[in-house]
């Protein structure tokens, strides 16, 4: 029990002072009002009786009253602080400050996306426009317009994925398929507007291939096409060599080897010096010092005629390359299936970091 005051009416309040440390928050507020409240607090009422006391008595009683008032005030404040501390402790209960923070996945560009964007960017700098087109095509846009003979093995069901549905009315030929290259978009581009044509076409293409370390049934392709008056093989070589210097490095050596495509004549494959051994020969380039990166050639006269362009007036060159393959070369990836797997260890190793921070 707290120290007595020397006055029985004040001492009668001491049990209440004693009880303050056990009051709950709402009871504390009520008790503060009941004791110290300006209108009906018991100590306030006692203070009002002072005026009617003799001077000597007024001093002693007044001092005792004030001391008791201060003790109540201190007790109320201490209790209020204790309640607040307790509230904070409960709020924090269940938070383990030693637990590691959550890693935030912020996303990263896929290595193939990065390669496509870079390649497209280099051709855009040269004034090429970007075009896209349907992935479901007819065999006219995919094969016949491109000078494939009707019995070409690429048109076989073994190589090409055909659809059962009939093509829409007014299409030039009978069979629907998943495009096997992006060339049909170039055919559509040449039909849509007269030369000059300078386009690059990125997109997915489909082949009836089993998946292995170097083949996918669905993969990306980028093709490019320039058609105008007076275009020659010099433009092809100069532009593609510039591309190799921008994409790999300015000193990268290139070479063109004769090749064959139904839609170009003459045709070539372009090699760049092996990016791993720089020409001395290593397992990645099978000892040759060179890596094949694209096929190209002068647009075949028959293709120009198929899109109603006069080969006596217009000439053009074209190329096609596989960004999945280029990504393998650039990042030294041994198996193309890794590019599809979504394995974060792989994507974090070849991409820019896809994870930020170690916690909040």
Task: Give me the helix-helix angle, 111-125 and 323-331, nearest 10°.
Answer: 110
Q: What dihedral do alpha carbons 178, 182, 183, 184 form, nearest 10°? A: 50
Binding flags for ligand 2NL, 22-61, as an x/- string (CB under 6 A): ----------------------------------------
Shortest distance, position 325 Cβ to ligand 2NL, whole Å: 8
Q: How far is the CB of 314 from ligand 2NL (least distance, A)?
A: 12
Separation of alpha carbons 337 and 331, rounded Å:
14
Instruction: Single out the residue of 185, 174, 171 nearest to residue 142, CA to CA.
Output: 185
Q: Which residues pair with 317 in a beta bridge?
A: 226, 298
**The one among 120, 225, 274, 293 contacting ligand 2NL by CB under 6 A:** 225
**Is residue 22 packed enough to be buried (19+ CB in 10 Å), middle (13-18) or exposed (0-12)?**
exposed
Q: How far is the CB of 334 from ligand 2NL (least distance, A)?
A: 20
Q: How many helices (H) and strands (E) does the chain have?
A: 12, 11
Residue 226 binds ligand 2NL (CB under 6 A):
no
User: Binding string to ligand 2NL for residues 295 to 334, with x set by CB under 6 A, is what?
Assistant: xxx-x---x--------------xxxxx------------
Min dist CB 223 to ligand 2NL, Å, is 5
Residue 160 touches ligand 2NL, criterion: CB under 6 A? no
The reply on whether position 203 binds ligand 2NL by CB under 6 A is no
Strand partners, 157: none
For the chain, state the CA radius of gyration.
42
The contacts of residue 199 (CB under 8 Å, 6+ apart) are 128, 129, 130, 131, 185, 186, 189, 224, 225
Closest CA relative to residue 327, chosen from 127, 117, 137? 117
Q: Please tell me the count of residues contacting ligand 2NL according to CB under 6 A.
A: 19
Which residue in 223, 270, 293, 309 binds ligand 2NL (CB under 6 A)? Answer: 223
Listed ranges 103-111, 163-171, 218-226, 248-256: which one lies at the site for ligand 2NL (CB under 6 A): 218-226
- Residue 321 or 338: the one with the smaller Cβ distance to ligand 2NL is 321
Q: Residue number with the shortest CB distance to ligand 2NL?
A: 320
Candidate ranges 28-36, 62-70, 235-243, 260-268; the one touching ligand 2NL (CB under 6 A): 260-268
Residues 311/190, Cβ–Cβ less than 8 Å: no
Contact status: 202 vs ligand 2NL (CB under 6 A):
no
CA-CA distance, 178 to 139, in Å (whole number)? Answer: 9
Is residue 153 within 8 Å of 159, Cβ to Cβ?
yes
For residue 115, the minimal CB distance to ligand 2NL (Å) is 14
Nearer to ligand 2NL, 13 or 201 (CB): 201
* The token pair that represents 85 in the structure block: 């501390």
What residues make contact with ligand 2NL under the rule CB under 6 A? 183, 186-187, 221, 223, 225, 261, 263-264, 295-297, 299, 303, 318-322
């Amino acid at each position: 029990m707290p120290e007595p005051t020397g006055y029985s009416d004040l001492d009668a309040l001491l049990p209440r002072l004693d009880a303050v440390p056990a009051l709950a928050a709402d009871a504390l507020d009520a008790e503060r009002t009941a004791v110290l409240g300006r209108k009906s607090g018991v100590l306030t009422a006692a203070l009002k009786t002072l005026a009617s006391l003799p001077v000597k008595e007024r001093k002693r009683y007044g001092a005792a009253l004030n001391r008791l008032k201060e003790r109540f005030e201190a007790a109320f404040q201490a209790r209020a602080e204790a309640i607040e501390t307790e509230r904070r402790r409960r709020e924090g209960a269940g938070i383990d400050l030693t637990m590691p923070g959550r890693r935030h996945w912020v996303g990263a560009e896929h290595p193939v996306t990065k390669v496509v964007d870079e390649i497209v960017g280099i051709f855009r700098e040269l004034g090429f426009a970007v075009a896209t087109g349907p992935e479901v095509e007819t065999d006219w846009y995919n094969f016949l317009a491109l000078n494939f003979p009707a019995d070409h093995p690429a048109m076989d069901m073994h190589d090409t994925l055909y659809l059962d549905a009939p093509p829409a009315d007014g299409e030039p030929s009978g069979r629907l398929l998943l495009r096997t290259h992006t060339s049909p978009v170039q055919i559509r581009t040449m039909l849509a507007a007269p030369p000059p044509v300078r386009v690059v076409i990125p997109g997915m293409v489909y082949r009836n291939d089993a998946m292995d370390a170097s083949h996918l049934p669905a993969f990306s392709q980028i093709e490019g096409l320039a058609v105008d008056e007076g275009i020659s093989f010099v433009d092809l070589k100069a532009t593609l060599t510039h591309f190799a210097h921008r994409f790999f490095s300015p000193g990268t050596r290139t070479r063109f080897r004769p090749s064959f495509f139904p839609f170009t004549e003459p045709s070539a494959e372009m090699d760049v010096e092996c990016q791993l051994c720089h020409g001395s020969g290593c397992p990645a380039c099978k000892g040759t010092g060179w890596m094949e990166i694209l096929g190209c050639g002068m647009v075949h006269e028959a293709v120009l005629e198929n899109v109603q362009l006069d080969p006596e007036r217009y000439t053009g060159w074209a190329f096609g390359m596989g960004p999945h393959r280029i990504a393998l070369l650039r990042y030294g990836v041994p198996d193309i299936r890794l590019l599809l797997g979504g394995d974060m260890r792989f994507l974090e190793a070849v991409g820019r970091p896809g994870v930020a921070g170690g916690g909040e």
